[in-house]
Amino acid sequence: MASGEELVKYITERVVTFMETPKEERRRKTKPKEPWSEKWFGMIPLGIMLMKRPSERKKQKQ
């Protein structure tokens, strides 16, 4: 396991790099959250939504 000094050095380096980066750059690095329906149920809600939506071909025939 790392000694206390190495751990303090590592944490200090991480904090310094975090503080030096601009706020906008940190925001760009974060990933956008996925919708809760996809997170909990996967692709099932998307499939249902696509099945419910009238297709382009049906609209053209009418």
Tokens encoding 27? 């925001």
pTM of the model: 0.42
Q: What is the pLDDT of residues 9-57, one digit of tens each?
A: 999 999 999 999 998 888 888 778 877 777 788 888 878 888 888 766 6
From the list 34, 35, 17, the residue with the least C-alpha distance to 26 is 17
Three-state DSSP class for residue 58:
helix
pLDDT confidence bin for 2, thresholds 50/70/90: low
Residue 19's pLDDT is 92
Torsion of CA 36, 31, 8, 19, to 10 degrees: -120
